[in-house]
Amino acid sequence: NAGVTQTPKFRILKIGQSMTLQCTQDMNHNYMYWYRQDPGMGLKLIYYSVGAGITDKGEVPNGYNVSRSTTEDFPLRLELAAPSQTSVYFCASRTGTGSYGYTFGSGTRLTVV
């Protein structure tokens, strides 16, 4: 099925470990985004990309890195995990033509202990 695929769905990290959250979309969307959602809060933008090879910081980029080597993939890298990065992470992409809208992945629940 077409959409945004995020892996893994759940992960527990120890403080100081690193990991990559994967995000893939098969809709040929140029715009892709990474958000984090802390308990009881709205989503906050970490990084975004307007096309392959182009990335930029969002509201809360510290402790994260991204890359966009292809249109389909937009991985989020966590270096030196900290408890403050315990959150649910969402990847999203935006339709550029026709009906204006966004497609969200199902989220990754990350716990740093």
Partner 1 sequence: AQTVTQSQPEMSVQEAETVTLSCTYDTSESDYYLFWYKQPPSRQMILVIRQEAYKQQNATENRFSVNFQKAAKSFSLKISDSQLGDAAMYFCAYPGTASKLTFGTGTRLQVTL
> Given candidates 5, 27, 75, 104, which one binds partner 1 under the rule CB under 8 A?
104
Peptide bond before 8: cis, by omega within 30 degrees of 0?
yes
User: How far from 55 is each of 8, 62, 100, CA to CA, in Å?
Assistant: 22, 14, 21
> Given candidates 56, 79, 84, 111, which one binds partner 1 under the rule CB under 8 A?
56
The encoded tokens of residue 32 equal 């892709």
Q: How far apart are the C-alpha atoms of 11 and 110, rounded to whole Å?
A: 5
> Least distance from C-beta 77 to partner 1, angstroms?
20
Q: Contact positions toward partner 1, by CB under 8 A?
A: 31, 33, 35, 37, 40-45, 48, 50, 56, 58, 88, 90, 92, 94, 100-102, 104, 106-107, 109
